[in-house]
């Protein structure tokens, strides 16, 4: 991913924006781009998990969908309640994975810009 977006030596207008006044690739451009990626991920993930969480009490009090038996003696209500733990933990691990990757990219971009 980094190689496809790293500022290169071409003189295309977008690339010129990514060079600093000394002609070296601009590290802050990478930081801004990674920061934007992170903010979009956080916005989607946080909104999604909040809706997922609030959907359970809403479904519970206004419908009987979660009353139905699911499997192994559990109702869909219990399955959803357990998912309220599994899904956030999986999301946190995904977040950790992406953050580690983005920070590596930022670090490498920083090294490139400093020669």
Partner 1 sequence: MAKIETLIFLVIIILVALLISLRALRRSRTSSGYFVADGGFTPGQNGMAIAGDFLSAAAFLGITGATALHGLSGFYLAISVPTTFVLVTMIIAEPLRALGRYTLSDVLAARFEDRKLRALAAINALTISSLFMIAQFVGAGLVLHLLLHLSYPVSLISIGVLMTIYVSTGGMLAVTWIQIFKTSLLLIAGVVLFLLTLSHFNWNPANILSAALTRMGPAAILPPHPNSLIKSLDYISLNFAVALGTIGLPHVIVRFLTVRNTHAARASALTASWIIALFLLSIAVTGLGAAALLGTDAIHKANQAGTLATPMLADFVGGSLLFAFVSAVVFATSIAVIAGVAISASATFVLDLYANILRRHAGEHERMVAGRLATIGVCVVALLISLGAAHLNLALIGVLAFTVAASGNVPVLLLTLFWRNFNGMGALCGMAGGFIASVGLVLIGPIVCGHAALFPLANVGLASIPIGFLSAFAGTWLSRRDPEAQARFDAIMAKISLTS
Rounded Cα distance between 65 and 28, Å, is: 50
Q: Which of 11, 57, 114, 115 binds partner 1 (CB under 8 A)?
A: 57
Q: How far is the CB of 97 from partner 1 (least distance, A)?
A: 11
Q: How far is the CB of 9 from partner 1 (least distance, A)?
A: 25
Span 94-113, contacts to partner 1 by CB under 8 A = 95-96, 99, 103, 106
CB count within 10 Å of CB 18 equals: 20
Residues 6 or more apart in contact with residue 8 via CB below 8 angstroms: 15
Phi, psi angle pair for 59, to nearest 5°: -65, -35
Phi-psi bin for 7: left (phi > 0), alpha (psi -120 to 50), beta?
A: beta
Q: Interface residues with partner 1 (CB under 8 A)?
A: 28, 31-32, 34-35, 39, 42, 45-46, 49-50, 52-54, 56-62, 64, 66-67, 69, 72-75, 77-78, 81-82, 84-85, 88-89, 91-92, 95-96, 99, 103, 106
């Amino acid at each position: 991913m980094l190689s496809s977006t790293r500022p290169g030596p071409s003189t295309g207008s977008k690339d010129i924006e990514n060079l600093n006044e000394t002609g070296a690739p601009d590290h802050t451009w990478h930081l801004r781009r990674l920061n934007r990626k992170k903010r979009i991920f956080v916005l989607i993930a946080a909104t999604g998990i909040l809706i997922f969480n609030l959907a359970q009490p809403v479904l519970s009090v206004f419908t009987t969908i979660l009353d139905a038996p699911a499997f192994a003696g559990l109702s869909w209500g219990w399955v959803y309640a357990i998912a309220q733990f599994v899904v956030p933990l999986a999301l946190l691990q995904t977040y950790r994975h992406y953050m580690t990757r983005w920070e590596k990219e930022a670090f490498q971009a920083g090294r490139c810009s400093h020669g």
